[in-house]
Chains A and B, each alone.
Chain A
């Protein structure tokens, strides 16, 4: 009897707080969105479960030095191993052909990053400190691993909220972008047909990751962990002589590492950390970041059109928001609504993948100036 009481006393039930129960609700909402609505399930499902786990008292899962989830967090995320490995997989999946065929579209990938900087200033004006503001701003880059990478270095207490915001809004891109795209473009702009890009030789696709790595890492050394792995993965893919490595990077490695990305990120969201007024602002600012980025990409395309005879369909600017390939699909769909024979998908992939590089460079710049 004594033993039973002793056992009962070790249970975490008595240590539950209303805050923890609120986090359970949030965890279950994310799990619901992942399973029932297919919202970025690869990340939101483990994140949701991680949130639930960390809000079960006494489990010790996040005890520094000992907890299982703490170990995933410390060795995987704090040591900056997991996000770069995700980028290895992403690089192996990325085809830079559409970008190399239409090189001027790289500016649209850069233009969309202006939304990141805009949000940074707004966040700072709203009371976030510089490092926090940068982390909130990078949400607009629509890049999960980069957001996690930057948050870990600049504002770890905001890691969970920024990651959840980033992935949620990525899932909502088909809802967020079209209204802005239609607001900022005229019908006659939306039906612009793109001219065929140049032919890309296989040698170019091999040289590109090598040159990109050299240039970007020399210019922005802080971005090296992510850029290096991204370009290595891309080189694997384009070299075509290491198919086993490419395949592992795209599949086994990427899938395994994804498990260990989401779970510890969710496990940082305990009740004290998350239930703060700041977090509401993060969700609001994250949404604005996506909206600004969509807008700046489109506006840059329109600006470029003032100076060139060969017009760019400005909708392509929205694909600079590097939710790959969602934003590209959205651009294609909105264009097809105006002219069903306009096939923008592959053109949109150009700025889409350029945007990934753009976001990493933006993160590298923040790290250099604020880290």
Chain B
């Protein structure tokens, strides 16, 4: 039951609020992406534990890039 957290838009990751192993709930803020000088939060899609984080602060991402994996 692994679910991916995808980037909702292209931009730069400016904050990562989760760590591998964290128990998280749906709708918590996982990361913040900056685009057009505006910060947009990325939300956790379901309850679970963070298995993998694939980006770090400063990374440029495209829409639908996998940011992290939850189990």
Inter-chain contact B36/A329, CB cutoff 8 Å: yes
Per the bound structure, the CA–CA distance linking A336 and B29 in Å amounts to: 14
Which residue on B lies nearest to A97, using beta carbons? B10
Q: Which of B8, B9, B41 has the most CB of A within 10 A?
A: B9
Q: A340-B43, A341-B43, A346-B63 are in contact. Are A329 and B38 (CB under 8 A)?
A: yes
Size of A's binding interface in residues, CB under 8 A: 12
Inter-chain contact A343/B9, CB cutoff 8 Å: yes
Give chain B nearest CB distance to A92 CB in angstroms. Answer: 16
The verdict on A349 contacting chain B, using a C-beta distance below 8 Å, is yes
Give chain A nearest CB distance to B35 CB in angstroms. Answer: 6
The verdict on A357 contacting chain B, using a C-beta distance below 8 Å, is no
Inter-chain contact A349/B43, CB cutoff 8 Å: no
Q: Which of B10, B35, B36, B41 has the most CB of A within 10 A?
A: B36
Inter-chain contact A345/B36, CB cutoff 8 Å: yes
Inter-chain contact B43/A346, CB cutoff 8 Å: no
Per the bound structure, the CA–CA distance linking A343 and B9 in Å amounts to: 7
Per the bound structure, the CA–CA distance linking A302 and B37 in Å amounts to: 29
The verdict on B40 contacting chain A, using a C-beta distance below 8 Å, is yes
Inter-chain contact A343/B8, CB cutoff 8 Å: yes
Inter-chain contact B40/A343, CB cutoff 8 Å: yes
Inter-chain contact B41/A340, CB cutoff 8 Å: yes
Per the bound structure, the CA–CA distance linking A325 and B38 in Å amounts to: 10
Give chain A nearest CB distance to B38 CB in angstroms. Answer: 5
Inter-chain contact A346/B35, CB cutoff 8 Å: yes
The verdict on A332 contacting chain B, using a C-beta distance below 8 Å, is yes
Per the bound structure, the CA–CA distance linking A268 and B45 in Å amounts to: 56
Per the bound structure, the CA–CA distance linking A332 and B63 in Å amounts to: 16
**A window 310-369: CB within 8 A of B:** 325, 328-329, 332-333, 336, 340-341, 343, 345-346, 349
Per the bound structure, the CA–CA distance linking A277 and B8 in Å amounts to: 50
Per the bound structure, the CA–CA distance linking A77 and B27 in Å amounts to: 52
**B window 6-46: CB within 8 A of A:** 8-10, 35-38, 40-41, 43
Which residue on B lies nearest to A348, using beta carbons? B36
Per the bound structure, the CA–CA distance linking A24 and B54 in Å amounts to: 56
Per the bound structure, the CA–CA distance linking A343 and B64 in Å amounts to: 12
On B, residues with C-beta under 8 Å from A are 8-10, 35-38, 40-41, 43, 63
Q: Which 3 A-B pairs have the closest CB atoms?
A: A343-B8, A325-B36, A329-B38
